[in-house]
Amino acid sequence: MTTNVGIIDRILRAVFGAGLLYIAFLSSLPLVETPFATYGAALIGIVLLATSALKMCPLYSILGIKTCRTC
């Protein structure tokens, strides 16, 4: 696994991931009233947090994208 996610990308992924988890489980927005929307938002949030923590995005690897300067 090679690093392909830069610092700004990691911060944005962590913020959006945490936001989606908050929306999915702690908010009472009508947007996430259905289980499909709730678990979909939670799944996307977990994936964003995981790619942020691991500094590696499988989709970036497939597409050949690197947002880090030192890798």
Q: Give the end-to-end CA distance of the chain in Å, rounded to a whole number.
A: 12
Domain that holds residue 44: 7-63
Query: What Rg do the C-alpha atoms of the chain give, in angstroms?
Result: 14
Is 34 inside a domain boundary? yes
Is 1 inside a domain boundary? no
How many domains does one find in the chain? 1
C-alpha to C-alpha distances, 3 to 6, 10, 49, 57, nearest whole angstrom: 8, 11, 15, 8
Confidence (pTM): 0.88
Q: Scan for tokens 């962590």, then name that residue.
A: 14
Confidence grade of residue 60 (pLDDT, cut at 50, 70, 90)? very high
Confidence grade of residue 70 (pLDDT, cut at 50, 70, 90)? confident
Rounded to 10°, the helix 35-54/7-25 angle is 150
Confidence grade of residue 29 (pLDDT, cut at 50, 70, 90)? confident
Confidence grade of residue 16 (pLDDT, cut at 50, 70, 90)? very high
Q: Scan for tokens 């947090």, then name that residue.
A: 49
